[in-house]
């Protein structure tokens, strides 16, 4: 079997608005609707809509021989629904062809896998539900935020019932081995790993329009020749941001022409087929186990987590946001869930990265803050307000606890004892709320 | 090299910069003669040979002086916009408004001039006299290149060039636009322009200044290059002061003049104090805007948490840093700005205006537009309230300052010299 597996990441974060310290305690809406809708509309126009249309044409043209897969983050879906519903429609069209697979991920493109299993599992679950409700298919293959993976994460994902996970073909994990085969988890034997061929993926995603690159200009003829020159591959995993088409590589670079003619060239001049991740997970036998004790990702030269975590600002922000978990569960109010989860999106930590001081241009494209400090200050201010709200909500929620109390009393506890003790604890709470409101 | 001041007798960054630069130049094997208007005798001699212009005898009977000056009388600049004026001088100026100008040809032909060496109202007069001394220096010393620091010495540099025929490099540490905004002192501008027009090359301390020199002074970009100041010459005495107040302290340290933006600092302070009373703000320094600033503090009703210290010097500066939790430099236009580097060196997180040359080289500093008092207030609040942020600045700031080296500046300058001499 020789197959090409296309996987595209579709993601938009809920960017924060400028949130100054004088907003703390006064202004409880954190997101920059204007900027988010503007970016969402712009990218829809330049990338999502034209590329989806092209994909649909290609799938129809090749009558089932051309297959692709997507992972669309929940935050992106929420923004499409709000700002550009036509993008959802075009993905639905693609879903109907049967040649498109949708993968599972964390709902808010978060780093929860590194911090809280409980939150990770519930985010994956609500994302899968969302995908099923929109596109009518239940995801079977998982990919984590930014392809972040470790043995521990793989175990959690396998336990959730997924067959396979996508991750980076990081050199320091593979060593001499090739990414062009399926691998398996060290002790979850049936859980397969599909690894990104970063050479061939990045030729399209990053180097396509780079004049200084020896491969420039990249043509389908050249690319298929490179594919044919690979040493006996079973699967070539081409994973990239969907925004590569029309947004990172502008229309004028010829990226759409390249994409338009690639499938027919592959099918006519090589014996590769196109397959989806779950088809590969079904068909391929793992050639070896991979051991990944420390998390890897697809970012930067290092292929590690340092784009999101590692400096004091990122670590502090990351610790703070997950400190709220217990109380958010306790309060269990939809408003808190939404804000808390949107604030977990990995992009917020990415903006705080300090390792790009020297060559910040590439990353500046994805970053609306001038400096990592601004990103941190804004985020920390938002968290301050969120903390105040959460504390207020904890104090102000004696009513549901009372009901729960009565339920308990009816079902389990002897009546007389409990009512008296609970009442005495409930009273100071009420006085507290009065105080806080009068202040 | 012609300069106006040299440590320890300094009123601003110019002296510190000259010292750092000459020290590094001497270390890499260059020989430097540094001529200041008035040497006190205790100047640091570790770097350069410091020559006082006051000690140089000039012979006015020589033809050269007659050609250049003729019957010359000085015009005092009657303006309250006196560059680099210290508080003492400021009051001197106000008290001695009427001064007699001297007509030098009426005096005996051979004499030495006594220079005050500070920035006062007779500045223009001194600039002229200093230039005359330069002629004498130009003849009596040997050197390969002439380097003049800031407009006060440009005339001296040009005279020296005319006499010796050597190349002239002028070093722009500040321009009139930095000092006075749009309301420039035309006489000063003319001297600056004259200096730039006659220089063989112009060195600026930042891209910001370079742009001003190109656009406002009409210089060809090829002739103007940027050599950033260093920072590693700063000697920080680790003076730990017991903090007497329990509140956090936010400090402004510099001349209280238009250029330094003290009013923006006060307005940002008022914003912070509206929400957080546990902060004290300190304005250390003096200048022509001081009285207005005191009035502004009163008007904002924040005097309970706002303090003025007057001009600080030497150890007092270090003490001030050791008491500070945040240092703010809200300069409207700052060609370079050494003070934030001093603060970082003393483990104080800094907020600097984007309109400063130093913001081009610093990474571990929060940068805001000087006019954006909301952003400034926010940055102050965040540095005071989020320990992760201030920890990072303290941890990285000091090593960053050490990495901005005078040796690099001296090396660049040397390459420039070679290019000019080739």
Q: Is A348 in the same domain as A206?
A: no
The pLDDT tens digits of the residues spanning B283-320 come to 999 888 999 999 999 999 999 999 999 888 778 888 89
B274–A312 C-beta distance less than 8 A: no
- Report residue A403's pLDDT band, with 50, 70 and 90 as the boundaries: low
Are A376 and A412 in a shared domain? Answer: no
Q: Is the pLDDT of residue A361 over 60?
A: no
- Looking at A291-414, list the stretches that DSSP marks H as alpha helix, in order from N- to C-terminal side: 312-323, 325-331, 334-343, 347-350, 361-364, 372-395, 398-411
Q: Check B388 against A371: CB less than 8 A apart.
A: no
Q: Do A21 and B378 touch (CB under 8 A)?
A: yes
Contact state of A21 with B389 under an 8 Å Cβ cutoff: no
User: What confidence score (pLDDT) does residue B160 get?
Assistant: 87
Residue B184 pLDDT greater than 90, yes or no: no
pLDDT at A406: 60
Tell me the catalytic residues of A: 146
Whole-number Å distance between alpha carbons of B290 and B371: 19
Chain A hits for B363, Cβ within 8 Å: 354, 357
- Residue A67 forms part of a structural domain: yes
How large a percentage of chain A has pLDDT more than 90?
75
pLDDT value for A411:
53
pLDDT at B350: 96
pLDDT in tens, A41-83: 999 999 999 999 999 999 999 998 999 999 999 999 999 999 9
**Same domain assignment for residues A122 and A153:** yes
User: Which pLDDT score is estimated for A434?
Assistant: 41
Strand boundaries in A1-108, DSSP class E: 3-10, 68-72, 100-102
**Is residue A306 situated within a structural domain?**
no
**Does the pLDDT value for residue A409 go beyond 80?**
no
Q: How far apart are CA B258 and CA A367, in angstroms?
A: 34
DSSP, residue by residue, A8-38: EEE----PBPP--GGGTTT----B-HHHHHH
Cα–Cα distance, A394 to A326 (Å, whole number): 11
Q: Select the residue from A18, A19, A20 to test the B interface by mutation, using most B Cβ atoms within 10 A.
A: A20
Domain contains A302: no
Range of the domain at A172: 3-289
In chain B, where the domains are located: 13-230+407-421, 248-403
**Is there a contact between A357 and B363 if contact means CB atoms under 8 Å apart?**
yes
Q: How close does chain B come to A313, measured CA to CA in Å?
A: 6
Give bridge partners of residue B328 from the DSSP assignment: B351
User: What's the CATH code, domain B248-403?
Assistant: 3.40.50.2000
Q: Give first-to-last CA distance, chain A, whole Å.
A: 71
Instruction: With H, G, I as helix, E, B as strand and everything else as coil, classify residue B223.
Output: helix
The answer on pLDDT for A223 being more than 60 is: yes
Q: Kindly report whether the peptide bond that precedes residue A217 is cis, defined as omega within 30 degrees of 0.
A: yes
Verify that A139 and A275 share a domain, yes or no. Answer: yes
d(CA A136, CA B353): 54
The whole-number average pLDDT for the span B262-291 is 93
Check residue A396 and give its pLDDT: 74
pLDDT band at B384 (very low <50, low <70, confident <90, very high): very high
Give the pLDDT score at B125.
Answer: 74
Query: Which candidate from A354, A357, A377 shows the least CB-CB separation from B379?
Result: A377
Mean pLDDT of B378-395: 93
Whether residue A362 sits in one domain with residue A217: no
> How much of chain B exceeds pLDDT 70, in percent?
77
Which chain A residue lies closest to B379 (C-alpha atoms)?
Answer: A377
The set of residues, in sequence order, having a beta carbon less than 8 Å from that of B175 and lying 6+ positions away, is B192, B209, B212, B213, B216, B217, B335
Q: Which two tokens stand for residue A264?
A: 């027919």
Asked whether residue A275 falls in the same domain as residue A214, the answer is yes
3-state secondary structure of B251: strand
Mean pLDDT confidence for B21-49: 75
Say if residue A183's pLDDT is above 90.
yes
- Tell me the shortest Cα–Cα distance from A109 to chain B, in angstroms: 24
Half-sphere exposure of A345 (CA within 13 A, CB side): 21
* Residues in A touching B395 (Cβ below 8 Å): 312
Q: Which of A114, A160, A134 is nearest to A306 (CA)?
A: A114
Asked, for residue A360, whether it belongs to a domain, the answer is yes
Q: How far apart are CA B185 and CA B193, in angstroms?
A: 12
Pick A377's closest partner by Cβ from B374, B382, B387. Answer: B382
Residues A230 and A193 in one domain: yes
Q: Chain A interface, mutation test: which of B279, B361, B381, B393, most A Cβ atoms within 10 Å? A: B381
Q: Tokens representing B416?
A: 């420039």
**Of residues B363, B367, B382, nearest to A21 (C-beta):** B382
Mean pLDDT to the nearest integer, A308-326 = 93
Residue in the block written with tokens 């912070």: B272
Length of chain A: 439
Give B81-122 as a DSSP string. Answer: --TT--HHHHHHHHHT------BGGGS-SEE------S--TT
pLDDT of residue A38: 95
Residue-wise pLDDT for B78-88, tens only, equals 333 334 444 44
Structure confidence at residue B265 (pLDDT): 96
Number of domains in chain A: 3
- For position A13, which CATH number holds? 3.20.110.20
pLDDT of residue A435 exceeding 50, the answer is no
Q: How many CB pairs under 8 A join A and B?
A: 58
Q: State residue A414 phi and psi, 5-degree precision.
A: -65, 135
For residue B395, the distance in angstroms to the closest alpha carbon of chain A comes to 10
**Closest CA of chain A from B387, distance in Å:** 9
Search chain B and give the residue with CA nearest A21: B378
ipTM of the complex: 0.76
CATH superfamily of B13-230+407-421: Glycogen Phosphorylase B; (3.40.50.2000)
CB contact under 8 A, B275 and A22: yes
Scanning B383-422 for CB atoms below 8 A from A yields 385-389, 391-392, 395
Q: Check whether residue A138 and residue A187 sit in a common domain.
A: yes
B34 sits in which H/E element: strand B33-36
Q: Does A379 fall in a domain?
A: yes
Q: Given an 8 Å threshold on Cβ–Cβ distance, is B386 in contact with A377?
A: yes
**Cβ distance of A317 and B388 shorter than 8 Å:** yes
Same domain for A147 and A53: yes
Kindly report the pTM of this predicted structure: 0.80
Question: Does some domain include residue A294?
Answer: no
| Residue B64: pLDDT band with limits 50, 70, 90 | very low
Least confident of A92-106, A333-347, A366-380: A366-380
Scanning B344-383 for CB atoms below 8 A from A yields 363, 366-367, 374-375, 377-379, 381-382
Minimum CA–CA partner of B376 in chain A: A20
Q: Which residues of A touch B374 (CB under 8 A)?
A: 20, 22
End-to-end CA distance of chain B: 20
Which residues in chain A touch residue B275, judged by CB atoms under 8 angstroms apart? 21-22, 24
Looking at A231, A258, A289, which one is the last position of a domain? A289
A246 lies in a domain? yes
Contact A370 B388 (CB under 8 A): no
Q: For residue A301, is it within any domain?
A: no
- B185: helix, coil or strand? coil
Residues A385 and A414 in one domain: no
Give residue-wise pLDDT tens across range B105-162. 333 444 455 555 555 556 777 777 778 777 777 777 888 999 999 888 898 899 889 8
Cα separations (Å) of B203 from B181, B209, B413? 21, 9, 9
Residue B83 or residue B417, greater confidence: B417
Task: Give the number of other Cβ atoms within 10 Å of residue B182's Cβ.
Answer: 5
CB atoms within 10 A of CB B26: 16
- Chain A residues in contact with B376 by the CB 8 A cut-off are none
B13-230+407-421 and B248-403 share one fold: yes
pLDDT at A28: 93
A343 and A202 together in one domain? no
Count how many residues are written for chain B. Answer: 422
**Set of chain B residues whose Cβ sits within 8 Å of the Cβ of A349:** none
Are A54 and A203 found together in one domain?
A: yes
Q: Which residues of A touch B (CB under 8 A)?
A: 20-22, 24, 311-313, 315-317, 354, 357, 370-371, 373-374, 376-377, 380-381, 384
């Amino acid at each position: 079997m020789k197959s090409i597996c296309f996987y595209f990441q579709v993601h938009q974060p809920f960017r924060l608005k400028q949130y100054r310290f004088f907003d703390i305690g006064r202004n409880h809406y954190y997101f920059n609707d204007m900027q988010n809708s503007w970016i969402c509309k712009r990218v829809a126009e330049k990338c999502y809509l034209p590329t989806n249309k092209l994909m649909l044409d290609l799938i129809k043209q090749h009558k089932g021989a051309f297959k692709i897969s997507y992972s669309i983050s929940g935050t992106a879906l929420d923004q499409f629904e709000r700002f550009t519903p036509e993008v959802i429609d075009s993905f639905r069209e693609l879903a109907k062809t049967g040649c498109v697979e949708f993968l599972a991920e964390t709902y808010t493109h978060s780093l929860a896998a590194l911090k809280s299993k409980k939150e990770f599992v519930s985010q994956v679950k609500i994302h899968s539900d969302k995908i099923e409700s929109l596109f009518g298919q239940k995801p079977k293959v998982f990919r984590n935020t930014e392809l972040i993976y470790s043995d521990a994460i793989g175990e959690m994902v396998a336990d959730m019932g997924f067959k396979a996970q996508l991750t980076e073909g990081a050199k320091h994990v593979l060593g001499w081995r090739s990414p062009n085969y399926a691998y398996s988890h060290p002790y979850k034997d049936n859980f397969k790993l599909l690894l990104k061929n970063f050479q061939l993926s990045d030729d399209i995603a990053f180097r396509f329009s780079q004049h200084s690159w020896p491969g420039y200009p990249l043509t389908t003829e050249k690319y298929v020749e490179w594919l044919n020159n690979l040493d006996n591959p079973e699967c070539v995993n081409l994973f990239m941001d969907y925004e590569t088409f029309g947004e990172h590589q502008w229309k004028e670079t010829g990226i759409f022409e390249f994409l338009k003619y690639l499938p027919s060239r592959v099918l006519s001049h090589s014996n590769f087929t196109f397959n989806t991740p779950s088809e590969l997970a079904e068909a391929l036998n793992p050639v070896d186990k991979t051991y990944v004790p420390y998390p890897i990702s697809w970012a930067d030269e290092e292929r590690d987590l340092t784009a999101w975590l590692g400096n004091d600002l990122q670590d502090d922000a990351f610790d703070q946001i997950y400190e709220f978990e217990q109380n958010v569960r306790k309060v269990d109010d939809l408003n808190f869930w939404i804000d808390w989860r949107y604030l977990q999106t990995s992009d917020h930590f990415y903006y705080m990265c300090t390792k790009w001081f020297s060559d910040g241009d590439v990353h500046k494209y994805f970053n609306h803050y001038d400096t990592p400090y601004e990103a941190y200050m804004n985020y920390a201010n938002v968290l301050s307000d969120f903390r105040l709200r959460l504390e207020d909500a904890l104090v102000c929620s004696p009513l549901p606890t009372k009901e729960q109390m009565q339920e308990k009393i009816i079902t389990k506890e002897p009546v007389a004892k409990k009512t008296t003790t609970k009442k005495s604890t409930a009273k100071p709470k009420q006085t507290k709320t009065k105080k806080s409101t009068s202040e | 090299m012609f300069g106006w001041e040299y440590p320890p007798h300094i009123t601003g960054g110019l002296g510190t910069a000259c010292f750092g630069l000459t020290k590094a130049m001497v270390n890499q094997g260059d020989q430097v003669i540094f001529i200041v208007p008035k040497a006190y005798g205790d100047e640091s001699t570790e770097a350069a040979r410091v020559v006082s212009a006051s000690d140089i005898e000039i012979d006015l009977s020589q033809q050269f002086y007659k050609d250049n000056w003729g019957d010359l009388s000085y015009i005092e600049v009657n303006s309250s916009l006196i560059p680099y004026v210290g508080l003492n001088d400021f009051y001197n100026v106000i008290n001695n408004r009427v001064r007699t100008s001297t007509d030098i040809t009426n005096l005996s032909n051979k004499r030495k001039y006594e220079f005050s060496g500070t920035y006062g109202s007779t500045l223009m007069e001194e600039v002229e006299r200093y230039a005359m001394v330069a002629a004498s220096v130009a003849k009596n010393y040997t050197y390969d290149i002439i380097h003049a620091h800031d407009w006060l010495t440009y005339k001296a540099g040009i005279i020296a060039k005319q006499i010796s025929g050597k190349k002239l490099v002028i070093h722009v540490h500040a321009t009139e636009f930095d000092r006075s905004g749009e309301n420039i002192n035309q006489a000063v501008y003319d001297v600056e322009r004259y200096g730039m027009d006659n220089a063989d090359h112009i060195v600026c301390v930042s891209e910001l200044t370079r742009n001003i020199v190109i656009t406002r002074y009409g210089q060809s970009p090829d002739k103007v290059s940027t050599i950033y100041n260093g920072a590693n010459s700063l000697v920080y005495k680790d003076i730990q002061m017991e903090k007497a107040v329990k509140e956090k302290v936010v400090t402004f340290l510099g001349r209280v003049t238009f250029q330094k933006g003290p009013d923006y600092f006060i307005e940002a302070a008022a914003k912070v104090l509206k929400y957080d009373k546990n902060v004290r703000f300190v304005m250390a320094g003096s200048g022509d805007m001081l009285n207005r600033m005191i009035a502004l503090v009163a008007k904002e009703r924040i005097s309970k948490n706002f303090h003025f210290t007057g001009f600080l010097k030497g150890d007092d500066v270090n003490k001030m840093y050791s008491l500070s939790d945040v240092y703010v430099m809200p300069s409207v236009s700052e060609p370079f700005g050494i003070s934030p580097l001093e603060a970082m060196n003393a483990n104080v997180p800094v907020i600097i205006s984007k309109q400063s040359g130093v913001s081009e080289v610093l990474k571990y500093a929060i940068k805001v537009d000087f006019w954006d008092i909301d952003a400034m207030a926010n940055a102050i609040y965040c540095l005071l309230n989020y320990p992760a942020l201030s920890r990072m600045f303290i941890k990285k700031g000091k090593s960053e300052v050490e990495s901005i080296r005078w040796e690099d500046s001296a090396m660049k300058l040397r390459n420039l010299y070679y290019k000019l001499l080739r």
